[in-house]
Structure 1
């Protein structure tokens, strides 16, 4: 089954949720919860919201779905520490789908790379929920494979330098279409005076 494997198909999951709308007596809340977990793993895609819209409100009021909605909110707002704390309390929900933790770590790194050029080690550790030797190994892997570099920070410890992209390294772009020729401006001065 797509839900419990490492594969993911939004279309298949949406079809199943639509089927449950027409035949609510056949709905398995366990499968619906797994579909939502898989949708969380697809962040930053809007899959979670798309799936949630097809789930009846009475079902969304169940505790496991409330938890998943809170987890989604934490991810969407970049509150990774709160996300990991809540996920730890809800292991029975999120561990039902293989690869959950790695998918969320990938999303957190994506968000950080849009925001930071240099990120303090503790901020990265909190966002991806890895510390100590595991974090050291993770950083070694990223330095070797993803273009990250490490530099010593000032008082706060090590800084991780992320590869530049259009979001974390903005450039001022001058557009010829947006500029007004000087002669047009000089024509306005007599009118203003």
Structure 2
């Protein structure tokens, strides 16, 4: 009797790449969402594929899985992942209380209303705490937003944006001073955090395209000799 060949195994990413609309991979994609949560990883393409499959088979939709996908998408801001995912979720599902809460949280983040965000998030721990690393991801996003706006951030503004105060904030600032290029200054009323220079908080660093000559124009003037 001939030896049977072992069945080929594929990763979830490979399954999605081969046929993202195959309903047979739906269970694998759900397991993969939970794997992303536990391992603190993220795969938008796989999650979008699962949401599309739910559209074709709405009776198999898992509210718990969809909520986890949306929370992971919030953690990916400033990428527009939350909106991409929400577009694929039926309106009647979006009207459930936990999804209405996530939509409100998304709006607060998009508009930089961090105090309102943290206030609302504190009331929704039962939804958010199932995904490890949520607070840290939002704090990173808040710092990103501040870095686009401020050259020097007053300590109270930073505290409100990342929802940290007191000694914990001192340690947070010390860490970023050592690892992220922050400089701590003493202001007249409170400490100031000097953020690394970028083309948004220092517009003079922005490359002036009017002062540069496109490469194709140069080659017209000085043909490349072979």
Determine which of 193, 203, 207 is the counterpart of 1:160. Answer: 193
Counterpart secondary structure, 2:79: coil
Q: CA deviation at 1:176?
A: 4.8
Matched ranges for 1:13-162 at <5 A: 13-154=47-188, 156-162=189-195
Distance 2:210 2:132 in 1: 48
Q: What residue number does 1:185 align with?
A: none
The TM-score, its normalising length taken from structure 1, stands at 0.88
Q: CA deviation at 1:174?
A: 7.9
Distance 1:110 1:98 in 2: 20
Distance 1:114 1:95 in 2: 29
| Structure 1, unpaired ranges of 5+ | 178-193
Distance 2:109 2:159 in 1: 16
Determine which of 206, 210, 224 is the counterpart of 1:175. Answer: 210
Q: What residue number does 1:181 align with?
A: none
Q: CA RMSD in A?
A: 1.5
Counterpart secondary structure, 2:35: coil
* CA offsets 1:51-84 (integer angstroms, 9 cap, x no match): 0000000000000000000000000000000000
The TM-score, its normalising length taken from structure 2, stands at 0.76
* CA offsets 1:132-178 (integer angstroms, 9 cap, x no match): 01000000100001110011111x2111100100100011848358x
Q: CA deviation at 1:2?
A: 3.4
